[in-house]
Structure 1
Amino acid sequence: MFTPQGPTFRELAVQALSSIEHGYDLLAPKFDATPFRTPQPILHAVESALGRLGPFERGLDVCCGTGAGVGLLRRVCDGQVTGVDFSAGMLAQARAAHPAATWVRADARALPFGPRFDLAVSFGAFGHFLPHEQPGLFAQVRASLRPGGLFVFPLPAPPRVGSKAYWFMLGFDAAMRVRNALWRPRFVMYYRTFRLADVREGLAAAGFEVRLLPLPELGVRADGSPNCRLVVARRPMGTS
């Protein structure tokens, strides 16, 4: 799973027994050498879709990590691009990779922006938010968008029941629940708590208009449905 440049087992264990913030501070220097970084095919597919949805002026990457999404935003936005994350270590890596972007340290559940962005994206961060936190997160993103602005993120289809990916996610979430029941501080990261029906309901409750676009570059399942969809949530015009 990991390249020789990635973290050791001991480093991963220390990270897993830390808080989310401190854990990512520790992992940040080697994060891009792990499988946790958003894969390039997903970034390319989202960028292609955004090219058809634009143009965009200002862009925001929510929970930006080391800046993979910011690199995409800089290619599809004509104006300033901003990344926000609560890990100082991850922001340091992102700033080194993209010095021309703006970097803000903040919790995504309390974004320090007014309605200034035309486009917001997020990649691979939603497992860090418990289901009851998701509507508040969506409301914060909506408040950061101009009327007509888009909040866009990829949402892979759930793995087939009984597949290796299914058992991995099930086992990971079970292990994380046991860890959080026995150890403090908690490290919230679950694969199976971000379901499409709940996401659509939460986005609608936050005041978004929601549609789904297939990402054909990422292939289809046996039943012909896409392996991954792009969730496109629009803040309606004329809303406060």
Structure 2
Amino acid sequence: MFSPGGPTVRELAVQGLSSVERGYDLLAPKFDATPFRTPERVLDATAAALRPLGPYARGLDLCCGTGAGVGVLQRLCTEGVVGLDRSAGMLAAGRASAAGPVEWVRADALALPFGPAFQLVVSFGAFGHFLPSQRPALFRRVSEVLCGGGRFAFPVAAPPRPGSAAYWATLGFDTAMRLRNAVHRPRFVMYYRTFPLREVLADLHAADLVPRLHPLPDLGRRPDGTPRAALVVATRTRRAARGVGPSRHGPGAEHGPVAEGPLRPAC
């Protein structure tokens, strides 16, 4: 399905009836042959927007999957790149295909096993796996692993116009997922309409992350001429970074091979 080598309808159904972690373990060998992988043009636009805001020493791809964002960090970071995900299968796929040294860590994004070690954290296409009630805690964890002045970046798309095909498609998908989760366990948390920008920006501010929007015009424009996508770049205030002690990987984190030595606190 989707492209040669992609998953079949049956495989997607089995994935959708599993937990998030187990579902992605099952999908991992064929994930890069699906539309769910972040397109290269989004990755290129993100890298281009972030480059002038650097430099960056260490970078973290949060909820990295098979490592699409890892490639962005490898272009920008000079002292090391980490990919973190809960799915062992996705990490294994990323490790098998990665070019260059990467540290792969299996851990929960809501319990990041690092101190303030990064100048840049990116995430692509993962926020639908977090309920709105979890978002403040997620952003606080990100804030804690950033050095003062470090940046948290992720692309966002303009919301579909009411009544458009995309509007009805996302509404239908989220409704189906809510019904599925009401009657079936384990839940598979994945929604498209639970990340409104106004609320997201407020949650970033609450986590001592100051957000700015950077238009991504290379990803197209809407009929009114405004860009279809933007990059949210949230900077950790240096004042908030004071007093946060460094730490190594915490209990429960599983590590891939460390190609450049152990990750040390950077600030």
Alignment TM-score, normalising by the size of structure 2: 0.88
Residues 184-230 of structure 1 deviation map (CA, whole Å, 9 limit, x = unaligned): 00000000000100100110111111111101111221222210011
1:58 aligns with 2:37: no
1:94 matched to which residue of 2?
Answer: 94
2:231 matched to which residue of 1?
Answer: 230
Question: AA paired with 1:110?
Answer: A
Question: AA paired with 2:60?
Answer: L
Over 3 Å off, 4+ runs: none
Q: CA deviation at 1:53?
A: 1.1
1:213 matched to which residue of 2?
Answer: 214
Distance 2:4 2:103 in 1: 31
Question: AA paired with 1:61?
Answer: D
Distance 2:93 2:79 in 1: 22
Question: AA paired with 2:33?
Answer: A
Residues 40-97 of structure 1 deviation map (CA, whole Å, 9 limit, x = unaligned): 1111100110111111110000000000000110011111000100000000011112
Which shows bigger deviation, 1-10 or 205-214? 1-10
Query: RMSD of aligned C-alpha atoms?
Result: 0.9
Q: CA deviation at 1:4?
A: 2.2
Residues 136-166 of structure 1 deviation map (CA, whole Å, 9 limit, x = unaligned): 0000011010000000000000111122111
Identical amino acids, percent of aligned pairs:
64
Which sections of structure 2, spanning at least 5 residues, go unmatched? 243-267
The residue matched to 2:79 in structure 1 has which SS?
coil
The residue matched to 1:210 in structure 2 has which SS?
strand
The residue matched to 1:82 in structure 2 has which SS?
strand
Which sections of structure 1, spanning at least 5 residues, go unmatched? none
Structure with larger RCO (C-alpha < 8 A, sep 6+): 2
Alignment of 1:182-197 (within 5 A): 182-197=183-198
Alignment TM-score, normalising by the size of structure 1: 0.98
The residue matched to 2:6 in structure 1 has which SS?
coil
Alignment of 1:68-217 (within 5 A): 68-98=68-98, 100-217=101-218
Which shows bigger deviation, 46-55 or 174-183? 46-55
Distance 2:52 2:161 in 1: 30
The residue matched to 1:64 in structure 2 has which SS?
coil
Distance 1:33 1:106 in 2: 25
The residue matched to 2:56 in structure 1 has which SS?
coil
